[in-house]
Structure formats: C-alpha cells, structure tokens
C-alpha cells in the first residue's frame, strides 16, 4: 500500500479537484482520505454517504465549580492564555482561550477545577460514487487539535487500505505549512504539489516544497492555470528544474474546472475528453509508475 | 476599527481584497494599516511594491533544562500535559515543537531547573510603500504552532499603530489560526465564491464566527460562475452580502502578476466602494 498526499501551500489552486479526480480514476484500488479537516469538501465531489460516524475526542478544557471556588485568584495568576476571568464570587474559564494545560487545576488550593475532555470533531467512513471507501472528518467549531484529527483520519484510512488490500491511499491535504499539513505528510510515499501560475502560487510552492524537503519526501508537481501567466509558469518550471522536481502536468485555465465543481463532479467525470482530463489521466498513470519504481 | 478578512475555503480572494482595500483606503487619505496574519503562507507583500523597514524575531517561550540543581524528580514530566518533556534516567529532554508555553514545568519545578527561554518560531516584517504600512508574520519552516506568531503580529500592529484602522488578512480554514485572527476584531468579512465548495466552507466559517459571537458579512467573489446557493444561504441566515465581485479573467491576470487591481478595473473599484460604504455604516 502506498500513500499519495496532495498539498499546495496556497489555498484554491485546485488541490481538491485534482485529488478527487485521482480518487475517481483509481476506482476501487484506493482508499480516499480528506485531511483538510477544517474545511473539508472533497466529499461533495465524490458523493460520500456518511455511512459510519464516530466521535473524535481530543484535548481538555478547565471548568471551575463556582460552588467550591473561593475566588483566591491563584488560577488567574498562573494562566498564560488569559483564559480565566474574575466574576464577583468566583472565577470562570473561557473555553476558547483555554489550552488545556492543566496548570490551574493542579495548583487550585481547593480542587475546584476539573479538566473535561472535549469532543473535537467527527470522523466519517463513507462509500463514494466509484465504489471505493473514503475517510473524512469535520472539525468541531472552535475546536483545536486539527493536527491530531488529521492523524486520526489518516490512521483509519491506512488501516482500511491494509485490511482490504488496496494499492493506494489518496490523501487531500490542507493549505499552509503548519500542524495539519505536517500531520498530513507523515508516512507519505509521494507528495503531489499543486500550484498555480500566480506570484502567490510560486511563493507558497517554495515554502511548502522546503517543508517536504525537511522530511525527505519524494515530490512531484502540477501547475494549474498555467496560461494565466506564462512568465510565472516559466519561473515555476525553472524552480522545479533547479530542485529536480518532476513536473507532471501544466493545466490550462478552464471554466470547466469550476463548472464540474458546481455539479459536484470531478473534472475527469464531468468531461472525460477535455484537454485537462486527458492530462490528469496521464498524470495519474505517471504517479502509479513512479510509485512502482520507488 | 479592526476588520478581519477571512474565508473557509482557500483561494477565494482574501489577499486580493485586503491588499486592494487597504491601498484604496490609504489613497483616500484614511489612516490604515494591513496585517497579513496568514503566517504559514504570507503573500500580501508580493502585491504592494513595498520596502522592508523593520523586522523583529518572534519567539515562543520554552523551558531549557539546567542540570546544576536538578534532582531528576520527574515533576516536570508529570505536569506537562502535552508530552513535551521526557524524564530520562540521567537527563530531562524538552521537545520544543510540542510545548504550549504554559510555564507549569518551569514554575512547579522544586529546584528551578527549567527556566523559560525564548525560542524563534518566525519573524515579523514591517513594509512600507508611498501610501501605507503592511506588517506580516512569517512562520519558520517546520514550526507547527502559528497562534503565538499571529498574536504577536496583532500586538505589534496595535502597539505601533494605535489610532489606525486595521485590516487583518486571515489564513484559510476554520480552526485555531482563523479564530486567533478574528476574535479581537470588530467585524469579520467572509469571502466566498458561488460554488458548492464555496458554500460548504462558508457555512463552516459562519458557524465558527457564531461560536465567537462575531458580527459578519459576506463578499461573493468570481460572481457569475457557479450557482445561487451562497446567495440563498446568506438570505436565509440574514447575513448581509456586502458586494459581489464579478468573475473576470483580467482580475485573475493582474493578481497572477502581483499587481493591484482597483486602479485598473472599474467594476472592481466599484465593489471596493461598496465595501467602504458598508464599513462606514458599521459601529
């Protein structure tokens, strides 16, 4: 079983449309995994049926019992997150600011503070339109620990892939370079970087590529909207060359890309004969070959 | 006044709107400063032809083991709720990337063997062009926690520009970095596009802002593609639609080149005027 992780640094480059296309093309050879847990939307393109739901618990927050609290203020003094405020007769915790460090509850002289485990989100296992299985999640509103939820989603997807003897796990990552992205990358056999021909696309590509380098990951790249700005496309290609990163495809700016999203279809299903779809199919075959060689 | 420009989905136009809006407001004589809080991928500076005028290292505080008086009692490991401290037979090891800077280990250590020391997580850059100032937070590669840097960037802007209007360019998503970028603002503008993706992620962003009790309005970008799901949703939820920015390949082209748009494309400037009129009506 090999895991392919699609990330982009910058948001809105077409990462989810491409990963959903790969997932569609892989048919039942893959388990699909949406790790963009705080704005998950891959399920829309693949008709996920939310078959199995499980709660995801992670992190704690402090809760002060007003009956026991003597209003001494020790908790207020030690909290580094400004999560505790003083009311007339007792202190209260702001659940959004609380990091769950436990410090206040440890030093409370009258044991008025309890640490309560938080539900941080939902994990779903779904059937999708091509008969494959997809693992996805929804982060709780205002919840933290998206990195841990990403790890959980990946773990469930990998276990399923091993159990059902699948060839691939196809993972849609999140934008950025921080904790959810780092969690998405763990254990990847191949990283597909999706960028676009804009100054921001190039800037963000460089940062996210540098991040993958620190983990020694095998990386390939797809340039989206390449004809929006040929000069930038040229710069991206030069950059990839200088880093020995294989360019899988340069896709043109095509309204079909958005139209496909509007009817909840991956582009390769929406119009399988258009130029972009042809290139995505070639890219998918390339990805499979690269994974065979490595 | 502090306004956060956010979105659930990435690539909907946060940076385009925040950089153009700030520039336009400044050209009208308004005292305004832009803060790029997308510290994982900051790129407002690419659009502003600005000069770097000041930089400041951003640190988070982490414990540093001092063996001198340490009795290896293990209290530090016991009180750390984030597994950032490992008590080995002859050593205390700290994992800085897991540390949340709660100070518990340091302050509860009976021998004061874990003094808190600064550790770099990123940099705060201040840029200036002929019209206004922009401040960005830039997270170091490999750092996982962006919240302290976002908080410090906001603080930097507050201290240096106390009586200015502030525009915050937020990161995408709905999790903690977005919350940190939005919770202290007077108003949050959510930018979306009229597609099922846009609607899905807008709904998540709206729910998050409601948890924060934030006042919100919506901008629909690339208007003309997609469907009317977003408009119906805003109508049903009583969320004001501040403006609709027309889908226009020329806008995308200017953006791709790192150029400002409002001085070249009339309908885009009209949209900014609608945003400014809307902001003027707040309070």
Q: How far does chain A reach from its first CA to its final CA, in angstroms?
A: 12
Q: Find chain A residues with C-beta within 8 A of B225's C-beta.
A: 255, 258-259, 262
Can you tell me the ipTM of this complex? 0.92
Does A270 fall in a domain?
A: yes
pLDDT: is B49 or A142 the higher one?
Answer: B49
Per-residue exposure over B229-252, b if at least 16 CB sit within 10 Å of its own CB, e if not: bbbebbeeeebebbbbbbbbeebb
pLDDT category of residue B226 using cuts at 50, 70 and 90 = confident
* Residues within 8 A of A (CB atoms), B 221-240 only: 222, 225-227
Measured between alpha carbons, how far is A196 from A233 in angstroms, rounded to an integer? 8
| A32 and A162 both lie in a single domain | yes
Kindly report, residue by residue over B227-253, the tens digit of the pLDDT: 899 999 999 999 999 999 999 999 999
Tell me how close the Cα of B175 comes to any Cα of chain A, in angstroms.
Answer: 6
User: Does residue A247 lie within any of the structural domains?
Assistant: yes
Give the residue on B whose Cα is nearest the Cα of A212: B142
Chain-chain contact of A199 with B257 (C-beta, under 8 angstroms): yes
From chain B, the residues in CB contact with A80 under 8 A are: 101-103
On whether residue A52 sits in a domain, the answer given is: no
Residues A72, A192 within the same domain: no
> For position B132, what pLDDT does the model report?
97
Using an 8 Å CB-CB cutoff, list chain A residues near B172: 11-12, 39, 175-176
Closest chain B residue to A179, measured at CA: B144
Question: Minimal Cα distance from B121: which residue of A?
Answer: A178
Closest-CA distance of chain A to residue B106, Å: 11
Do A114 and A135 lie in one domain? The reply is no
Q: Nearest to residue B212, comparing CAs of B242, B173, B185, B241?
A: B185
Q: Which residues of A touch B201 (CB under 8 A)?
A: 39, 41
- Count helices and strands (H / E) in chain B: 9, 11
Sign of the four-CA dihedral A237, A242, A243, A246? positive
Asked if the structure places residue A82 within a domain, the reply is yes
Asked if residue A43 is part of any domain, the answer here is: yes
Chain segment A22-40, per-residue pLDDT in tens? 999 999 999 999 999 989 9
**Are the C-beta atoms of residues B220 and B231 closer than 8 Å to each other?**
yes
Cross-strand pairs, B117: B62
Please answer whether residues A64 and B230 qualify as being in contact, where contact means their C-beta atoms are separated by less than 8 angstroms. Answer: no
CATH number at residue A108: 3.30.70.20
Q: Is B21:B275 a contact under the CB 8 Å cutoff?
A: yes
Binary contact (B43, A203; C-beta < 8 A): yes
Of A92, A119, A146, the residue that ends a domain is A119
Q: What is the DSSP string of B235-258?
A: HHTT--EEEEEEP-HHHHHHHHTT
**CA–CA gap between residue A31 and residue A52 (Å, rounded):** 15
Tell me A253's DSSP state: P
Report the alpha-carbon distance of residue B178 to residue A175 in Å, rounded. 13
Q: Coil, strand or helix: which one is B271?
A: helix
Is B207 an 8 Å CB contact of chain A? yes
Mean pLDDT of B35-63: 96
Which CATH number goes with the domain that contains A205?
3.40.50.300
Confidence of residue A241 (pLDDT cuts 50, 70, 90): very high
Q: Is the pLDDT of residue A144 over 80?
A: no
My answer on whether A107 and A171 are in the same domain is no
Which of A142, A145, A194 to probe by mutation at the B interface, max B CB count within 10 Å?
A: A142
Determine the Cα–Cα distance for residues A20 and A85; give it in Å rounded to an integer. Answer: 46
Which chain A residues are closer than 8 Å to B227 by Cβ? 262
Domain span at A108 = 57-119
| Residue whose C-alpha is closest to residue B171's, from B200, B208, B142, B199 | B208
Other Cβ atoms less than 10 A from the Cβ of A91: the count is 23
Co-location of A179 and A248 in the same domain: yes
* Predicted pLDDT at A258: 85
Residue A262 lies in a domain: yes
Q: Are A177 and A11 in contact (CB under 8 A)?
A: no
Contacts of B40 in chain A (CB under 8 A): 175-178, 181, 207
The closest CB to that of B141, out of A81, A99, A177, belongs to A177
The confidence score (pLDDT) of residue B6 equals 97
A99 and A66, same structural domain? yes
Contact A101 B82 (CB under 8 A): yes
Non-local (6+) Cβ contacts of A278 within 8 A are none
A107-131 confidence digits (pLDDT tens): 999 999 999 999 999 999 999 999 9
A112 vs A48, A72, B75, CA distance in Å?
Answer: 45, 11, 22
Q: How many residues does chain B have?
A: 283
* Cα B128 from Cα B135, distance rounded (Å): 9
In angstroms, what CA-CA distances link B160 with A102, B2, B21, B134? 34, 14, 21, 12
Q: Which of residues 130-169 of B touch A (CB under 8 A)?
A: 139, 141-146
Reported confidence tier of residue A262, pLDDT bands at 50, 70, 90: confident
- Rounded Cα distance, B153 and B147, in Å: 10
Which residues of chain B lie closer than 8 angstroms to A180, CB-CB? 175
Identify whether residues A94 and A180 lie together within a single domain: no
Count CB neighbours of B107 within 10 A.
Answer: 16
Q: What is the pLDDT of residue A281?
A: 98
Taking CA–CA distances from B259, the nearest residue in chain A reads: A199
Instruction: Say whether both A114 and A133 belong to one domain.
Output: no
pLDDT for res B144: 87
List CB contacts (< 8 A) between A139 and chain B: 174-175
Q: Is the pLDDT confidence value at B275 over 90?
A: yes
Predicted confidence (pLDDT) per residue in B174-204, tens digit: 999 999 999 999 999 999 999 999 999 999 9
Copy the structure tokens of residue B213: 């009790």
In sequence order, which ranges of chain A are alpha helices (DSSP H)?
15-26, 42-46, 74-78, 103-107, 146-163, 179-185, 199-214, 230-242, 255-262, 267-270, 275-293
- The pair of structure tokens assigned to B230 is 């977003």
Nearest to B62 by CA among B98, B32, B30: B98
Mean pLDDT computed over A260-267:
92
List of long-range contacts for A63-69, beta carbons under 8 Å, 24+ apart: A63/A93, A63/A113, A63/A114, A63/A115, A63/A116, A64/A90, A64/A91, A64/A92, A64/A93, A64/A112, A64/A113, A65/A112, A65/A113, A65/A114, A66/A90, A66/A92, A68/A110, A68/A111, A68/A112, A69/A110, A69/A112
What ranges do the domains of chain B cover?
2-59+121-280, 65-114
Query: How many independent structural domains does chain A possess?
Result: 2
Task: Say yes or no for a CB contact (<8 Å) between B174 and A141.
Answer: yes
Whole-model pTM above 0.80? yes
Round to whole Å and give the CA distance between A280 and A120: 35
pLDDT at B225: 86
Sort out which chain B residues have CB atoms less than 8 A from A232's CB and list them: 256-257
Using a CB-CB cut-off of 8 Å, the residues of chain B touching A201 are 256
Provide the mean pLDDT of chain A.
95
Please name the fold of domain B2-59+121-280: Rossmann fold (3.40.50)
Q: Mutate which of A97, A146, A177 to test chain B, going by most B C-beta atoms within 10 A? A: A177
- Is the CB of A258 less than 8 angstroms away from the CB of B225? yes
Please check whether residue A195 is in contact with residue A221, taking contact to mean a CB–CB distance below 8 angstroms.
Answer: yes
Interval A229-233 mean pLDDT: 97
Partner residue facing A262 (CB), from B100, B227, B249? B227
Does one domain contain both A73 and A167? Answer: no
Mind telling me how many Å the CA of A130 is from chain B's nearest CA? 20
Residue B267 touches chain A, beta carbons under 8 Å: no
B65-114: in CATH 3.90.1150.170: no
A64: its two tokens: 């002060």
For β-strands B116-128 and B133-139, DSSP reports them as: antiparallel
CB A258 within 8 A of CB B225: yes
Question: From CA A128, how far away is CA B237, in angstroms rounded?
Answer: 30
- The Cα B183–Cα B92 span in angstroms is 37
Hey, how many other C-beta atoms are within 10 angstroms of the C-beta on A65?
A: 13
Residue A38 has its nearest CB partner, among B141, B173, B183, at B173
Contact in structure between A178 and B149 (CB atoms under 8 Å)? no
Q: Is pLDDT of A145 > 80?
A: no
**Average pLDDT, rounded, for chain B:** 96
Interface of B with A in 85-124 (CB under 8 A): 100-104, 107-108
CA atoms within 13 A on the CB side of B222: 21
* Boundary (domain end) residue, out of A91, A119, A147: A119
Say if residue B283's pLDDT is above 90: no
A226 & A115 share domain: no
**Residue A196: strand pairing partners:** A224
Per-residue confidence (pLDDT) for residue A142, from 0 to 100 = 78
CB atoms within 10 A of CB B271: 25
């Amino acid at each position: 079983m090999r895991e392919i992780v699609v990330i982009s640094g910058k948001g809105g480059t077409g990462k989810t449309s491409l990963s959903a296309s790969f997932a569609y093309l892989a048919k039942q050879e893959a388990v699909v995994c949406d790790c963009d847990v705080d704005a998950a939307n891959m399920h829309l393109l693949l008709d996920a049926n939310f078959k199995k739901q499980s709660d995801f618990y992670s992190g704690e927050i402090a809760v002060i019992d007003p009956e026991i609290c003597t209003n001494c203020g020790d908790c207020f003094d030690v909290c580094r997150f400004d999560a505790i405020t003083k009311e007339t007769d007792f202190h209260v915790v702001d659940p959004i600011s609380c990091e769950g460090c436990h410090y206040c509850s440890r030093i409370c002289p009258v044991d008025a503070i309890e640490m309560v485990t938080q539900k941080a989100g939902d994990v779903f296992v779904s059937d999708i339109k091509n008969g494959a299985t997809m693992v996805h999640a929804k982060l709780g509103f205002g919840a933290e620990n998206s990195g841990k939820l990403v790890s959980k989603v990946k773990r469930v997807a990998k276990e399923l892939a091993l159990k059902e003897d699948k060839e691939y796990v196809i993972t849609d990552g999140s934008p950025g370079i921080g904790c959810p992205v780092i969690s998405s990358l763990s254990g990847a056999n191949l990283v597909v970087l999706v960028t676009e021909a804009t100054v921001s696309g190039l800037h963000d590509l460089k940062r996210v590529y540098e991040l993958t380098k620190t983990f020694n990951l095998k990386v390939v790249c797809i340039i989206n909207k390449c004809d929006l700005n040929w000069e930038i496309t040229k710069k991206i290609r030069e950059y990839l060359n200088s880093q020995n990163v294989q360019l899988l495809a340069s896709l043109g700016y095509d309204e079909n890309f958005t139209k496909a999203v509007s009817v909840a279809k991956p582009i390769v299903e929406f119009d399988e004969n258009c130029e972009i779809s042809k290139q995505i199919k070639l890219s998918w075959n390339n990805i499979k070959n690269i994974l065979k060689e490595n | 006044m502090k306004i956060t420009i956010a979105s659930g989905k990435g690539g909907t136009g946060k940076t385009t709107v925040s950089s153009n809006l700030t520039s336009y407001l400044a050209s009208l004589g308004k005292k305004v400063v832009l803060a790029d809080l997308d510290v994982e991928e900051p790129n407002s500076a690419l659009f502003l032809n600005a000069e770097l005028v000041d930089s400041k290292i951003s640190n988070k505080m982490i414990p540093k083991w001092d063996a001198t008086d340490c009795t290896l009692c293990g209290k530090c490991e016991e009180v750390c709720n984030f597994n950032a401290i490992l008590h080995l037979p002859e050593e205390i090891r700290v994992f800085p990337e897991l540390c949340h800077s709660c100070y518990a280990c340091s302050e509860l250590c009976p021998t004061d063997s874990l003094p808190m020391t600064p550790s770099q997580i990123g940099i705060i850059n201040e840029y200036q062009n002929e019209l206004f100032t922009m401040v960005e937070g830039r997270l170091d590669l490999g750092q996982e926690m962006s919240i302290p840097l976002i908080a410090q960037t906001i603080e930097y802007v507050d201290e240096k520009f106390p009586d200015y209007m502030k525009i915050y360019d937020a990161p995408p998503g709905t999790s903690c970095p977005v919350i940190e970028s939005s919770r202290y603002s007077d108003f949050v503008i959510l930018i979306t596009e009229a597609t099922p993706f846009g609607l899905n992620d807008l709904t998540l962003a709206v729910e998050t802002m409601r948890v924060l009790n934030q006042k919100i309005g919506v901008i629909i970008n690339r208007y003309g593609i997609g469907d009317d799901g977003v408009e119906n949703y805003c109508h049903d939820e009583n969320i004001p639609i501040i403006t609709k920015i027309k889908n226009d390949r020329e806008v995308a082209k200017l953006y791709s080149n790192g150029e400002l748009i409002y001085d070249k494309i009339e309908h885009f400037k009209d949209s900014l005027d609608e945003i400014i009129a809307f902001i003027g009506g707040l309070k």
